[in-house]
Structure 1
């Protein structure tokens, strides 16, 4: 049975247990301000070497400064999570908060968990007084299309710091009503 709760600092190491396995057939890249879809097959079997450990440090810092970390568990196993940073990013004329993490384990996809977590993340931004979410999305078509179906739009000028960290990502934002 699935249950949800706020994550604590000692839960952060569990995030690397989320199964990121995915078969990707198409990617996006930004070209002349437009999304260009191109075929490229990639088999993702897990976390790239060192990424889970790096992410844990970044998310620990986020937690310690007041970030929101939320997880979905199957019994004691963390199967999905979302993280919103409390730091404000000024972009697109809005005060945005970054969606730093949103992953759903392979066997739990298609159940609406990603959509639920995204909605809860947006609610958290509202509670923080933010006007929208900043999303730096992995450029796979499935990921970018997920965010676009939820109303996210391309940022015309990505945040320079976040862009330097992830220049191949598709930088999006969601304006909250």
Structure 2
């Protein structure tokens, strides 16, 4: 039986803790003169930090309450991936929706779950009337490379609010149509 994708409801958001976000990070991107540059940055992530997890769950509750959606990827009855799209449009032309999170458990990375969740987010954004997803990506090489490989580009319109929250993130956009 394959992975099943479905909406996560508010009462289920605590299940995000089921995702095994373990990762060995070797490099991270930064922007220099409008260009992506790599630098070494060795880290080992073993799990969600408790405060970070609480903040992610809080944001997802707010996101659902304001018209956004959270999609879960389930392998049998275990949540192995999650992604979400805000319901509030952004940008000078109100043509962006922010993809807030995308996490995939370590044991299923490379099996298309991330791509499937990203495609779900594109469909959601398109159905909500957006032209593009705005992605404030953690600057790790694997994360940014994933988005670039799936068609994202450096955003043409930096969202000042999101940039202020995450100035080291790599700010990307992805067409949804």
> Normalization by structure 2: what TM-score?
0.94
Counterpart for residue 109 of structure 1: 109
Structure 1 residues 94, 66: closer, same or farther in 2, change over 3 A? Answer: closer
Count of aligned pairs between the two proteins: 176
Counterpart for residue 100 of structure 1: 100
Once residues 25 and 131 of structure 2 are traced to their aligned partners in structure 1, the CA distance between those partners, rounded to angstroms, is 32
Counterpart for residue 61 of structure 1: 62
Counterpart for residue 16 of structure 2: 15
Once residues 157 and 116 of structure 2 are traced to their aligned partners in structure 1, the CA distance between those partners, rounded to angstroms, is 28
Structure 2 gap segments, 5+ residues each? none
Once residues 38 and 143 of structure 1 are traced to their aligned partners in structure 2, the CA distance between those partners, rounded to angstroms, is 14
Q: CA deviation at 1:24?
A: 1.0
Instruction: Give the RMSD, CA atoms, in angstroms.
Output: 1.4
Local SS of the residue matching 2:25: strand
1:11-62 per-residue CA deviation (whole Å, 9 max, x = no partner) reads 1111122111001111100111111111221111111340000111111000
- Kept in 1, the 8 Å contact 2:84–2:99? The answer is yes
- Kept in 2, the 8 Å contact 1:67–1:83? The answer is yes
Where has structure 1 moved over 3 Å in runs of 4 or more? Answer: none
- Kept in 2, the 8 Å contact 1:6–1:71? The answer is yes
> Would you say 1:39 and 2:59 are equivalent positions?
no
Counterpart for residue 52 of structure 1: 53
Once residues 24 and 96 of structure 1 are traced to their aligned partners in structure 2, the CA distance between those partners, rounded to angstroms, is 29
Counterpart for residue 140 of structure 1: 140
Once residues 130 and 66 of structure 1 are traced to their aligned partners in structure 2, the CA distance between those partners, rounded to angstroms, is 13
Once residues 49 and 38 of structure 2 are traced to their aligned partners in structure 1, the CA distance between those partners, rounded to angstroms, is 23
Once residues 22 and 81 of structure 1 are traced to their aligned partners in structure 2, the CA distance between those partners, rounded to angstroms, is 16
Counterpart for residue 90 of structure 1: 91
- Kept in 2, the 8 Å contact 1:66–1:86? The answer is yes
Structure 1 residues 176, 5: closer, same or farther in 2, change over 3 A? Answer: closer
1:108-166 per-residue CA deviation (whole Å, 9 max, x = no partner) reads 11110000110111011110110000000000011001001111111244211111111
